[in-house]
Structure 1
Amino acid sequence: MPSFKSILAKPFAKRIYKKVQKWANNPIETQEKVFKNLISEATETAFGKDHDFISINTYEDFVKRVPIRDYEDLKPYVDRVVNGEENVLWKGKPLYFAKTSGTTSGAKYIPLTKDSMPTHVNAARNAILMYIHETGNADFVNGKMIFLQGSPVLQEKNGVQLGRLSGIVAHYVPKYLQKNRMPSWETNCIEDWETKVDAIVEETLPENMTVISGIPSWVQMYFEKLQQKTGKKVGDIFKNFNLFIFGGVNYEPYRAKFENLIGRKVDSIELYPASEGFFAFQDKQDEKGMLLQLDSGMFYEFVKAEDFFNENPKRITLKDVEVGVNYVMIISTTAGLWAYNIGDTIQFTNTKPYRVIVSGRIKHFISAFGEHVIGKEVEQAMKDATTNTSIRINEFTVAPQINPDSGLPYHEWFIEFENEPENLSALAKKLDASLQKQNSYYFDLIEGKVLQPLKITKIEKNGFQNYMKSIGKLGGQNKMPRLSNDRKIAEALKAFLLVK
């Protein structure tokens, strides 16, 4: 017998679906409207005055006046906001700072404002409602839902609350879901990740879990602990678990491992949230890519990744993008980020409507020899090499080996196997063949005997988790970089090799 809550969910889902279709079917007009609103609302801010917003009438005017910046470049303005000054990047003061760990700048403080905060919450809600509308499946709203996230305990800095984005969002769970959500507030506040996951296992075991959500690598840790404790597959422990919601990393390298841990296939919804904005969510089960959020107070620009480090790379808007091209995504938002490089690269899978996949990080690539291998390519190679095999991967990362003891340089793949291949060199050959097929530069370097084919180095069980723990980045929103252009991670991983 369907519950009152699941009956109500369907008409609500239909209403949201219609609303989403309206802007998704009018993408260019929607973005123009967002652009005009951003400029007019910020004209009287310090940033708006410094960049002559009052005389910006067109996108071309904006490009002339506002250069692309990353966090380091925007930091002088952010510091003023953090110090308590008003009307700097956006009207008034922000509601929160989302604190993230920057690679070069230590902690980063990303403002969240009265105008930007609701877009984070609504996008997550809409992703679930779009799924209900498409599948007709609303029964899961009656069960318990878990969101593996950072601690909701917030600090204060000059009158503005400060915390991890996932911890801030925990304060916005709608009332009708409060009784369903897990873990408990006390458990969610545990800072140590391993202690927290153990507590979550204890709390959730007796419950009717229907939705599980989080970054795949950390949900995997939760699933493994459940299995160790009970000796059962996750799908047998939670008979009604049928929806996995994830974001932050590509799910494909984890899919086979997850299906094995769960013991069956479950539907999944991919999200693309970040402290800077909630950019996209999967709106169709059978379509590749996530629907780009065009009506959420964010104006998008794109620069071809291959041109990004040129002197004056060409900036384009949505109307000029092409499917399959690797772009750096640039955003301007109601949180006061202006022509801001978030560091992600994306590719469009469709332009009717505009759907994207995250292809990597502009700083996470390997081009030690001019090959410019990106995250999406190594993940695709792993998928090609392991599909329809018994091989299961826990985690992997790739680095260049520029000065080997003997022979030509090569790409070194550090892999933690759940189920090892019988023949490691056959797997290496498959990975290499896929990479050569995808990346013509890499193919030329192998063909021209500049590089030798890739080599696999095995990492011990839980090695990647232990590495993340050793650098203080276990759990939460921290992710293992898929590849790097130097040997920093590779050297650190030597402590976690299967055969030292």
Structure 2
Amino acid sequence: MSIKSIAAKIFAKKIYKKTQLWASNPIETQKKVLQKLIQEAKNTQFGIDHHFDQIKNENDFANQVPVRDYEALKPYVDKVVKGEENILWKGKPLYFAKTSGTTSGAKYIPLTKESMPYHIEAARNAILHYIHETGKADFVDGKMIFLQGSPILEEKNGVKLGRLSGIVAHFVPKYLQKNRMPSWETNCIEDWETKVNAIVEETFNENMAVISGIPSWVQMYFEKLHQKAGKPVGEIFKNFNLFIYGGVNYEPYRAKFENLIGRKVDSIELFPASEGFFAYQDSQKEKGMLLLLNSGIFYEFIKSDEFHTDPDGSGPKRYTIGEVELGVNYVLIISTNAGLWGYNIGDTVQFTSLKPYRIIVSGRIKHYISAFGEHVIGKEVESALQEAIIGTTIRINEFTVAPQITPAEGLPYHEWFIEFDPEASGEPEDLENFAEALDNAMRKQNMYYDDLIVGKVLRKVVVTKVVKNGFQDYMKSIGKLGGQNKIPRLSNDRNIVDLLKSK
């Protein structure tokens, strides 16, 4: 065992104990976070406009600060982008994380000197919790790759801006620099396909131990490695034993990954976003990710089925950490030390544990199917697909689901667009039988969907095959190939699938 791995174990134990202090006292921890946020921002324009000086507790905060998405907060953000100070947070932000918006073009999410360290610490602590629990630390001597956006930054009114993953690349600790791949030059390549090809060449003969990224784009990297070597990734990288991912559920990809790797590897799930680093998997034995309650973020939760209701004119009820329940689908609302207040990031979560508070990401509040009142969410389609392929050789590269409201004939239905892996018998032998299994699994996941099938409002799901690399071609056609971009699992219209059909 190397000195580096011994040091990693010692540090891991220290961080674990530190985490337990706040995780075992969650309600008080969140109260202190809110109080500190209010105190720090009370003299900003937002703080003055919303009477922060009168806020004493969570109820006061909910009464003074409405829930907003980016569009609603944009008048404040625009002032920050123009270079004005003390608008959402004291001073100016260090960076803007630039993301693609749906209705307003580019979105500029502020990152401050107070918020930025938590993005780095959370990713580090996820690995340290893994080391503490498993005792495995030899990988720290191997090479690590983080598939991410370009670290090249622009500047807007004196503030640097870029993709979050590119910004984070500037904060890689010195002790990891020698182990980190790809090279800076390769990481700066903008075109994703060119970049992945360069990464394959650069890493092919290296001792890769940790690989990290969004599963769909890591899969592309693995496939190119497999094509080059003609053997599983696990044979190319014999010491590769840890996969770190975020952005999407890994389960639909797991069988495909294990086939590409040639064996099972441990994995760590992360929940990062431009708006904050919210959770990470702290245990290989427990389901869900530890919600980070002591990272400069105050959390509120709105039940998904109440989100669009307004019973008394003050909006839906906002629950604090001490009021949440297991298994309920909540819209995640955040207030942060980057100046996002009562902010709806669009993600929905469910709690898998209350001691400590662990969550899974269940979907997006805007990504659902409810053409007939069924309100199917991302977690349900992912779970149904996973159940349908258990015990089979079927491998899924990518998928999305949309309603067909006006079919040429017969009843309406949910249409699943699936890119199967034709290699190693990865396609279903009988597509009708597979669709039947998928439909049965969906009926277990969503009772409203089951009622619609039983009542003959809908007919059973229809599975449409997507050609090989069809999803990649679609993402390329809309300028979102690679990086942090990902395919929505489902939508309430056919905009995405109509484009897929045209490929």
Give the TM-score normalised by structure 1: 0.99
Q: Where does 1:470-481 land on structure 2 (aligned, <5 Å)?
A: 470-481=477-488
Q: Which runs of 4+ in 1 moved over 3 A?
A: none
Structure 1 unaligned spans of 5+:
none
Q: 1 CA distance for matches of 2:480 and 2:50? A: 38
Q: Which residue of 2 aligns with 1:121?
A: 120
Distance (whole Å) between structure 2 residues aligned to residue 221 and residue 19 of structure 1: 38
Match of 2:169 in 1: 170
Amino acid at match of 1:327: Y
Correspondence for 2:142 = 143
Q: In 2, Cα distance between the equivalents of 1:29 and 1:65?
A: 21
Correspondence list, 1:87-166, <5 A = 87-166=86-165
Number of the residue aligned with 2:342: 339
Q: Gaps spanning 5+ residues in structure 2: where?
A: none
Residue identity matched to 1:51: H
Aligned counterpart, 2:225: 226
Residue of structure 2 equivalent to 1:215? 214
Choose from 355, 371, 381 the match for 2:374: 371
| Distance in 1 (alpha carbons) for counterparts of 2:343 and 2:227 | 44
Output the CA distance in 2 between the equivalents of 1:19 and 1:105.
41
1:445 matched to 2:452? The reply is: yes
Indicate which of 407, 412, 433 corresponds to 2:440.
433
In the alignment, which residue of structure 2 is the partner of 1:277? 276
Task: Report the counterpart of residue 381 of structure 1 in structure 2.
Answer: 384
Q: For residues 208 and 64 of structure 1, what CA distance do their matches in structure 2 show?
A: 55
For 1:373 and 1:411, the matched residues in 2 are separated by 10
The reply on whether 1:406 has 2:405 as its aligned counterpart is no
Give the C-alpha shift of residue 314 in structure 1. 0.8
* Correspondence for 2:351 among 348, 353, 358: 348
For each residue in 1:143-175, what CA deviation from the matched residue of structure 2 results, as whole angstroms up to 9, or x when unmatched?
000000000000011110000000000000000
Counterparts of 2:337 and 2:363, CA distance in 1: 25
The answer as to 2:323 corresponding to 1:324 is no
Q: Kindly report the root-mean-square deviation, in angstroms, between the aligned alpha carbons of the 2 structures.
A: 0.5
Deviation per residue, 1:119-159 (Å, 9 max, x gap): 00000000000000001111000000000000000001111
Tell me how far 1:434 sits from its aligned partner: 1.0
Instruction: Quote the Cα distance in structure 2 between the aligned partners of 1:438 and 1:468.
Output: 29
1:77 to partner: Cα distance: 0.2
Q: 1:20 corresponds to which residue?
A: 19
Is 2:395 aligned against 1:392?
yes
Report how far residue 184 of structure 1 moved.
0.1
Q: What is the Cα deviation at residue 421 of structure 1?
A: 0.6
Alignment partner, residue 65 of structure 2: 66
Which AA in structure 2 matches 1:60?
A: N
Q: Deviation per CA, 1:198-251: give whole Å up to 9, x if none.
A: 000000001000000000000000000000011010000000000000000000
What is the aligned partner in structure 2 of residue 205 from structure 1?
204
SS at match of 2:85: coil
Give 2:419's match in structure 1, choosing from 413, 416, 419.
416
Cα distance in 1 between the residues matched to 2:187 and 2:308:
41
SS in 1 for 2:249: coil
Query: How far off is 1:495 after superposition?
Result: 2.1
Q: Give the aligned residue type for 2:473.
A: N
1:462-494 CA distances to partner (integer Å, 9 max, x unpaired)?
Answer: 100001001110000000000000010111011
What per-residue deviation string (whole Å, max 9, x for no partner) do you get for residues 31-51 of structure 1? Answer: 010010011110000000000
Distance 1:33 1:54 in 2: 16
Matched residue, 2:492: 485
Report the TM-score when normalising by structure 2.
Answer: 0.98
Partner residue in 1 for 2:297? 298
For residue 373 of structure 1, give the secondary structure of its aligned residue in structure 2.
Answer: coil
